[in-house]
Copies of this chain bind each other. A is one copy, B any other.
Amino acid sequence: MNAVCLLSGGMDSTTLAYLAADMGYRILGLHFNYGQRTEGKEHTCARTVASLLNAEEFLEIDLSHLKIIGHSSLTDHTLPVDSYRENREGIPNTYVPFRNANLLAIATSFAEARGAGAIFIGVQAQDYSGYPDCRPAFIEAFQKVIETGTRDGTSIRLLTPFINMTKKDILKEGLRLKVPYEHTWSCYKDQEMACGECGACHFRMAAFSAHGITDPIPYREDK
């Protein structure tokens, strides 16, 4: 059976695509460009992973209207990216309003048109502590939208096996699946050397450190 796998180029979605393939799904890769700062690197990683997994299809979608709508430091390059802080209040400014609903709507159109039976999205606990569109309640509500908004007889399961896992748990799963983490990128800010300061770098570095292994991607030397 085919499954649409959202491939951002990051650790979570890459690990999830390897898990989907391990479960026997044929992969329909889906990557989004919404004007995020590190898109060049993310795109290369996502495409490489789709190729390594012999994806049936790899679709790249331009969502630059999310940049036009604005309100996020990921897409508005005049805003500085929030650094990770332990006791930060509120949602970091990297939040793109209702982004995941936009991604899942396209994923569902793609799945319905291709007759795929599942959509895999790598949302996880440490994200939904900040981002509303990573919450389990949001995912459950979206499953209901899929059921009511697609042709009768369509069955598409929205699968988020990492939603209650930590980055450390996800990395453990990825090590079992032999995920090539050198072809993943997490940093929100830079794409030559990871900054080591943003929220995405913080969680990634902590996960590798917890397993006592070296992250294969380059970090800025002063980190």
Contacts and interface: CB of A to CB of B under 8 A. Distances in A.
B108 A105 contact: no
B65 A150 contact: no
Contact of A102 (B59, B105, B132, B138): B105
Q: What copy number does this chain have within its complex?
A: 2
A99 B91 contact: no
Nearest to A145: B141
A137 B62 CA distance: 30
B141 A148 contact: yes
A206 interface: no
A105 B98 contact: yes
A109 interface: yes
Interface stretch (A66-74, A177-185, A207-215): A66-74
A170 B143 CA distance: 32
Contact of A101 (B95, B105, B110): B105
B150 A132 contact: yes
Interface in A137-190: 137-138, 140-142, 144-152
Contacts of A133: 149-150
Contact of A150 (B98, B104, B109): B98
18 contacts: A59-B69, A69-B106, A91-B151, A97-B112, A97-B113, A98-B109, A98-B149, A101-B109, A102-B105, A132-B150, A132-B151, A132-B152, A137-B148, A141-B141, A141-B145, A141-B149, A142-B149, A144-B145
